Amino acid sequence: MTTDTPGVRSFEDAIQRCQSLGMRLSRQRRSILELLWRSGEHLSAREIYHRLNEQGQVIGHTSVYQNLDALTAQGVIECIERANGRLYGSVSETHSHVNCLDTQQILDVWVELPPEVITQVEQATGTKVTGYRVEFFGYRQPSGPSGGT
Ligand SMILES: [Zn+2]
């Protein structure tokens, strides 16, 4: 993936990215993008397949997998590897995650580390940091924003 193309941060971005890449925007492909953006969750291919079919969208298993592969390969959607398989998210732009240990949800979050931290990392490892992703772990707080449903 090239670093000079900004990641996808909205549904409109996603559509535009597909068009500028010359990717065919089939009904199935559009449905997958819509589902990911509407739910705001990180879903497995199996979940995506089930939800689309629940919505009455007739889409085959293979088609779901092929579309997810294509969208991931082109950097239109996010793909994260977890111990129990791959999960797909709507935002392909570099972002961080909060892993909820109780609900098993993965929440997208944008954090900016203080420059001192970056410098520290660079000095400790002798590298030039050009990007980062932070994995947070924690529990839902009853008083916090409820997020999606
Ligand atoms: Zn994500």
Could you tell me the distance, in angstroms and rounded to a whole number, from the CA of residue 110 to the centre of ligand 1? 10
Residue pLDDT, tens place only, 74-127: 999 999 999 889 999 999 999 999 999 999 899 999 999 999 999 999 999 999
pLDDT-derived band at 1, boundaries 50, 70, 90: very low
Q: Is the pLDDT of residue 14 over 70?
A: yes
Could you tell me the distance, in angstroms and rounded to a whole number, from the CA of residue 41 to the centre of ligand 1? 8
Q: Is the pLDDT of residue 3 over 50?
A: no
Distance between CA atoms of residues 86 and 81, nearest Å: 5
pTM (2 d.p.): 0.84
Could you tell me the distance, in angstroms and rounded to a whole number, from the CA of residue 114 to the centre of ligand 1? 21
**Half-sphere exposure in the Cβ direction for 125 (13 Å, CA):** 9
Distance between CA atoms of residues 92 and 3, nearest Å: 12
Count of residues for the chain?
A: 149
Distance between CA atoms of residues 124 and 143, nearest Å: 38
Could you tell me the distance, in angstroms and rounded to a whole number, from the CA of residue 3 to the centre of ligand 1? 17
Domains and CATH numbers, the chain: 11-89 (1.10.10.10), 96-138 (3.30.1490)
pLDDT-above-90 percentage for the chain: 83
Q: Check if the beta carbon of residue 35 is closer than 8 Å to that of residue 51.
A: yes
